[in-house]
Amino acid sequence: MNILLIGYGKMGQLIDKLATDAGHQIVGKITIDNTADLQTLDTEAVDVAIEFSQPEAAIDNIKWCIDHQIPVAVGTTGWLDRKQEVDEYCELNNGTYLVASNFSIGVNLFFKLNEQLAKLMNSQSQYAVSTKEIHHTHKLDAPSGTSISIANGIIDHLDRKTSWVNEETDVPTELTIISERIDPAPGTHEISYTSSVDTIDIRHTAHSREGFAKGAIAVAAWLKDQKGVKSMEDFLNQV
C-alpha cells in the first residue's frame, strides 16, 4: 500500500523502515519543516496516512486527511479531549480515521485485563487503586494517552472512582496517575491495588517502539478499506 507519513520523528522513521521492509511504499514524509509539501502532494496516489506528530498539530493534520479523502491512522496523543469535535468533522465530511492511544497489541490486551480487574474490585473495597506511567524525557504530554485510556477503563468499571488526576490524591473518588520521565523508557504502564495485607500489580512494559509501529501499519492496512470513525476495538474485532 502507498503510505503518507505525517510526522517523521521516532515513530515515523521506524514505521518507514518496517513498512518498507514489508513491501509497502512511502509516498511522503511530513515534518514540522516541510508541511507545505502537502499542498503539492499527489493525494490520489495515497492509500492511507499514518500520523505521529505532536499534540498541537494532530487535529489540523487529521482534518487535512479528511478533506482530501485519505483514511488516517493516528497515534499522536495529548489532544483527545477534543476527539468528539474531530469525530463530528469526520462524519460530516464523509472521512475515515482511527485514533489509538496505543497501537501495540499487548497494551490492548492489557486494557481488557485492566477492565476485568476493575470489575472484580467492586466487591473488594479494602483495595486502594493507583496507576503509574514511565516514559522517556522527550515526551511532550503527561499523563500519557495510554494511561488516560487505562484510567477511563477503571472509571467505567470500578464504581468508587469517578475521575482521574495527574498527582497523588486522598480524594476517594479520584484516581491517581503518576507520570515519571526516565530515559530511554519507550513506555511502561502499571496499575496497583493495595490493601493492608498485600498488593496486586499489573504492568505492561514496551521493550522498544516496534510494537507500536507494527500495530499502526496493521491498522493502516485495514483502515484503507473502511469508512467513518473507527476504533481499535473495531480493528481487533474484525481482523
Catalytically annotated residues: 135, 139
Binding site for ligand NAI (CB under 6 A): 6-12, 30-32, 35, 52-55, 57, 61, 75-78, 100-103, 141, 212
How many CA atoms lie less than 13 Å away from 177 in the CB half-sphere?
Answer: 24
| Least Å from the CB of residue 70 to ligand LZUJQKHR | 23
| Least Å from the CB of residue 96 to ligand LZUJQKHR | 22
Closer Cβ to ligand LZUJQKHR, 186 or 228, answer by number:
186
Residues 145-184 that bind ligand LZUJQKHR (CB under 6 A): 145-146
Residue given cell 467492586 in the structure block: 122
As to burial, measured by CB atoms within 10 angstroms (0-12 exposed, 13-18 middle, 19+ buried), residue 197 is exposed
Largest CA distance in the chain: 64
Altogether, the residues listed in the chain come to a count of 239
- Write the binding mask 67 to 106 for ligand LZUJQKHR: x where contact by CB under 6 A, - elsewhere: ----------x-----------------------xx----
Three-class SS of residue 63?
helix
The candidate with the shortest Cα–Cα distance to 222, out of 89, 117, 115, 96, is: 96
- Partnered with residue 200 across adjacent β-strands are 193
Number of residues that bind ligand LZUJQKHR (CB under 6 A): 9
Pick the piece of the chain touching ligand LZUJQKHR (CB under 6 A) from 32-40, 83-91, 119-127, 140-148.
140-148
| Least Å from the CB of residue 106 to ligand NAI | 11
Residues 184-203 that bind ligand LZUJQKHR (CB under 6 A): 187
Distance CA 141, CA 160 (A): 27
For 35, list phi and psi in degrees, rounded to 5: -60, -25
The item of ligand NAI, ligand LZUJQKHR, none sharing an interface with residue 228, based on CB under 5 to 8 Å by kind, is: none
Closer Cβ to ligand NAI, 16 or 47, answer by number:
16
DSSP H helices in 36-93 = 55-67, 83-92
